[in-house]
Chain A
Amino acid sequence: MTDTPILKPLKTWSHLATRRRKPSEYEIVSTNLHYTTDNPDAPFELSRDLPISQWFLQNRNASPVHHPDWNAFRDPDEMVYRTYNMLQDGAETYVNGLLGQFSARGHDAMLETSWATTLARLYTPLRYLFHTLQMGSAYLVQIAPSSTISNCAVYQSADSLRWLTHTAYRTRELAQSFPELGFATAERQAWEEDAAWQGFRELVEKALVAYDWAENFTAFNLVVRPAVEEAILRGLGQSGRHNGDTLLGMLCDAQLADTQRHRRWTAALVQMALTQEGNQEVLKGWIAKWEPLADAAIDAYCAALPDAPDAGSQARSAVRALRSILGL
């Protein structure tokens, strides 16, 4: 006991102390928080052969995408809980203002019934799709190999609930203006049966069972989400503007603001993965697996959009451009 080193006072957590700069609030509260990654053979302080231990060993520890130190990942936005709420409270105040102004102006009463029919078919069933995004990101929260990745997924999951909430709100408003069109009652049937949705439904059902953490990330953040954003948020928004539905376009744009943030951390994580040999092939292999499903989803949905003839091709090239910039 006598030859043990004397420890100096700390300026920050010991695990950050070797860095020669002052840590940000983000680093102080976000880094190295998953203890279940510490022991590579046993995630939990229980028997090692439990099915749920095997689940983590297989889907997290044995992922074909590898890096010696995932804990080094940093969200480029350095988002923390309190800044997330400040940001999104402001964003919701804006959306609330939109909803209030358009409602006061009698917006829905001015919509053509034919467009309202399109909304019942192509807009309000979207809550199912948004909810799968919420679920998919929540899976990444619990399976990601570092807390800095999990935190990005937390806010992304919550953002998806945000979009779902806007959709539910609009669904009720539209049901009041167009009681005969099946708003608030027929969405599940559309989601489960309408040809326009089946591509997305197949894509997300399959992506939700891609349980390897890195495949979940690849499928959702590099393929599914970009497809939803480009085909639906952009395509539907555009279609809305051609049919007197300014509110829908503005709502979609408000949601697209969240996706810019998602894309920044997605790019940072891809960049980090690509520093390791072998990862690019794995990611490209997964994209090759998921892209055809996403293309089919984009095509089926966009084909049904009125007054947006190029939406499908634009969405396809936009999602490819996004991946290509990342080297994928």
Chain B
Amino acid sequence: MPMLERADWYDIARDTNWTPKYVSQEALFPDVMTGAQGVPMAQWQSYDEPYKTSYPEYVRVQREKDAGAYSVKAALERSNIFASADPGWHSILKAHYGSLAVGEYAAMSGEARMVRFGQAPGMRNMATFGMLDENRHAQLQLYYPHDLVSKDRQFDWAQKAYHTNEWAAIAVRHTLDDLFMARSATETAIMLTFAFETGFTNMQFLGLAADAAETGDYTFASLVSSIQTDESRHAQIGGPALEVLIANGRKAEAQKLVDVAIARTWRLFAILTGPSMDYYTPIEHRKQSFKEFMQEWIVGQFERSLIELGLDLPWYWDKMIAEFEFQHHAYHLGLWFWRKTLWWNPAAAVTPECRAWLEEKYPGWNDTFGKCWDVITDNLLAGREDLTHPETLPVLCNMSQIPICAIPGNGWNVKDYPLDYEGRTYHFNSEIDRWVFEQDPVRYRDHMSLVDRFLAGEIQPPTLAGALAYMGLSPAEMGDDAHKYAWADAFRPDPLAKSAA
């Protein structure tokens, strides 16, 4: 007899739900870990994962993928790409690995939650591959930067960042914990795989892969595009879970999870991918602006998948799209300004040529963000780098944990969105962040932002040095301008003065 095709036996492998007898269904699938939103187990039987694979196919395909990714790395090991790359590109690598490698490992735990507590056997099997995938992504994104720690100590943060109280690390932990680490299997399927992965990972993994190839960093380009091939498979765990919820009268619950997840994910990508694409990537290697990517991937593609599933667009959709114009510019300015608190060296990327590009992509940039950079540039030209560092604490958003910021200069719209809840005043970057808090205040109310901790006396001594020590940043690791301020020379009226600077 000929050998069987996968389709011949696939359904048997995902026919594994049974009725427990020796323990209760509630004990076996406790709501805190399963979160089935009241949809009974039998209804989850209709869950049908669109991307099907099997164990033997998985280990074969993944072995081949790894052979490719690791051989590219080995082949380019002795090349000069890293040494010759622009320092802005180094900053992308440091920010990327530090904020993602251990986060991928966390996502492995999220996948494991679905393997154990998912109600649908198809979800449990697909999440088993997802769990393996995230194991892969953590390992690849630790193995690659490990080679670079001997060249630059900031690469140690690929492994270390999540274990520190550095503010961006707190922000990313707060986000990932909210999206999946502290969520049930059902919530994880929707918030991690559908919203975060289907919606946004394309941005970081395909968008940056394009910029990496342009820059000549083929190692990184092959790494992140290989990762994205896994993401696009296991991201499909969430869609059928949404279908089950909607078919069982839980659209409102599903919609809320999606809306919260997109709101949170957008902030993370705005501060991570936004500056990487529009500032750190050398101008000659930028494929598209961050806004263009967002419009293509989020507005163009993700919006369609929301509608196709029978969901509505989040109530804040237009507000979020409006933020594409400015939020990441504000974050970039903040990152550069508070650069000593980072594990990477932000590239200012505001030479006259860069500013012309920004003005073209974001009309009005010179009149708004440009005004701040004018002052910074003037100070640098006057030899007063000391004036380009902050003297006060920022106000951190109690949702995103990122400084509250928006448009400066002539378009000024910076505003706190406060909320009094049980005797404490919380501060938010926008109506969207405040809305997220209001959906589940118990979830967020006890958390102290880094600045809250500082003001409460938890950080001692209460000085900049004390805060930097609390964040785990040693002087050899603290961020500085990626190009050592050389870019400001382009503004000197007398070219002869450049050499004197």
Contact = CB atoms under 8 A, between A and B. Distances in A.
B233 interface: no
A150 interface: yes
Interface in A175-195: 176, 184, 187-188, 191-192
Given A172-B9, A206-B23, A52 B33 contact: yes
A92 B60 contact: yes
A1 interface: yes
B136 A81 contact: yes
B108 A141 contact: yes
Interface in B88-122: 102, 105-106, 108-109, 112-113, 115-116, 121
Nearest to B56: A92
A7 interface: yes
Contacts of A19: none
Contacts of A33: 102, 105, 138
Interface in A64-103: 80-82, 84-86, 88-89, 92, 95-96, 99-100, 103
B202 interface: no
Contacts of B474: 4-5, 7
Nearest to A176: B1
Given A81-B132, A151-B135, A173 B70 contact: no
A208 B23 contact: yes
A134 interface: yes
A192 B183 contact: no
Given A10-B153, A46-B443, A205 B20 contact: yes
B475 A35 contact: no
B115 to A, nearest CB: 4
Contacts, number: 240
B160 A46 contact: no
Interface in A200-218: 201-202, 205-206, 208-209
Given A89-B59, A165-B55, A192-B21, A158 B128 contact: yes
Nearest to B137: A81
A50 B445 CA distance: 11
Interface residues of A, number: 88
B458 interface: no
A28 B143 contact: yes
A96 to B, nearest CB: 6
Interface string B1-35: 11110001110110110111111000110001100
A99 B1 CA distance: 10
Interface string A11-50: 1111100000000010011101111101000011111111
Interface string B116-148: 100001001101100110011011101100100
B447 interface: yes
A81 B108 CA distance: 12
A161 interface: yes
Given A81-B132, A147-B105, A158-B55, A138 B115 contact: yes
A106 B146 CA distance: 53
B23 A127 contact: no
Contact of B66 (A82, A99, A127, A131): A82
Nearest to B161: A35
B389 to A, nearest CB: 12
Chain B CB count within 10 A is highest, among A36, A138, A188, A201, for A138
A318 interface: no
B462 to A, nearest CB: 15
B170 to A, nearest CB: 6
Nearest to A85: B63
Contacts of A171: 9, 12
A87 to B, nearest CB: 8
B116 A135 contact: yes
11 contacts: A12-B149, A13-B159, A14-B159, A45-B447, A52-B183, A81-B135, A85-B63, A131-B16, A134-B124, A172-B12, A209-B28
Given A29-B138, A92-B60, 11 more contacts: A12-B146, A25-B143, A47-B447, A89-B59, A96-B3, A106-B1, A134-B115, A138-B113, A138-B128, A141-B131, A201-B22
